Amino acid sequence: MPPPSVANRTYMRAAESRRDQASLMRNSFARTIFVRFTSATACLALAGVLVGCSSGQNQASAPPPPSVTVAKPVQRTIIDQDEYVGRFVAVDSVEIRARVSGYLEKIAFEDGQMVKQGDLLFTIDKRPFQAALDQANANLAQAKANLAFAEADLARGQELVRNKTITEQTFDQRTQAKRVAEASVQAQEAAVQQAKLDLEFTELRAPVAGRIGDRRVSPGNLVTGGTSGNTTLLATIVSTNPIRFEFTFDEAAYLRYERLSSRGEDVTGREGGVYVSLKLLDESDFKHSGSLDFVDNVIDRTSGTIRGRAEFANDQGLFTPGMFARIRVPGSPAYPALLVPDVAIGSEQARKYVLVVDSENIARPKYVTLGDIYDGLRVIKSGIAADDRVVVNGIARIRPGLKVTPEEDKSPPPGEANSNAKNG
């Protein structure tokens, strides 16, 4: 066992070693805390410097207000238009039926061709009707011969009755025979006229000008004619120029038209002369012009609508009976209105608005009530003033309340541009 002094020294050395290690650990921890604090402080300072630099750069490179094109509303005198869907109908539509019965001998047209009034269409065998006419002429000649004999016999009887050679009764009989002969002549003349008509009816001619349909009967078939309901239909003809367009409008529109008409602003066309426009299903513009010439005298009980009719020229034969189209009818008297390009209209759910640049060049929304479109311009019935600067180009790049750089639109309105191009 070592001496106590040695043990004490060993113990003291061990204690000092532990104290040194503890001191080293405290110093190391303090240095670590100091280093971390110093690093954090440096990072914060660096971040502040970076933020300051970024803010300065943003302020230095902030974009200018977006440029938009503005224009004042166009002022025009317009008429509101009502649109309806309708169908073309022929002015004249005729079913070709024979007036006499007989065998069909000849067809003088091609299916679907255009025919003129009076053109020969069908021919029925004439021989039986020619024979009937010859017989009627013979009967008429016989009746005229009988009349001539009766007249001569009556003339002789007048001398004889004065000389008392014949009795008064005999003279009356001769007078009666002359009257019967005259009636027989009239009857035979009527028979001859009927036979001539029957012979004429063997040639069926076009009663109106227009387009004929296909033949319903081939040559060689027996055609039933006459005025009864079981006659044979041979073909149909519909006129094409001019052509009519029929449509219906509701009771509310009818009342509005009538009230305008009572104030001397006729838009119903009862008296004629109201101009309308029309477009076909494959057209985008109402480029066909016509006139409203008829409005019915009753409102349909089941639908609550009344029938109107317009007439259009059809020189090119484009319109066909039965074809659908859309028609525009004047719905108001002429009035001054403000118009803006349709692309300037924005939507906010169910509401429509335009962006107007105020005196501080800030875009402000104005909610508007829309009307019809004319030459690409939308009628604004309410919501803007004539001196407003409306954003007509660039509405997608801005939002309400944003400052903008307005540029005046120097181009003429679409309607004026088209007019100038036509005049030039």
pLDDT digits (tens, 9 = 90+) for 82-93: 899 999 999 999
3 state SS of 396: helix
Q: Which two tokens stand for residue 412?
A: 């003429």
pLDDT of residue 40 exceeding 80, the answer is no
Residue ranges in 163-203 assigned as alpha helix (H): 168-201
Question: How confident is the model at residue 13, as a pLDDT?
Answer: 59
3 state SS of 220: coil
Write down the residue that tokens 């679907």 correspond to. 112
Question: How confident is the model at residue 207, as a pLDDT?
Answer: 94
**What's the mean pLDDT when you consider all of the chain?**
82
Point out the least confidently predicted range of 114-118, 131-135, 354-358, 393-397.
Answer: 393-397
Could you tell me the strand order of the sheet in which 93-97 lies? 93-97, 233-238, 210-212, 114-115
Question: How confident is the model at residue 263, as a pLDDT?
Answer: 65
Going from the C-alpha of 333 to that of each of 274, 278, 286, 329, 336, the distances in angstroms are 12, 19, 19, 12, 10
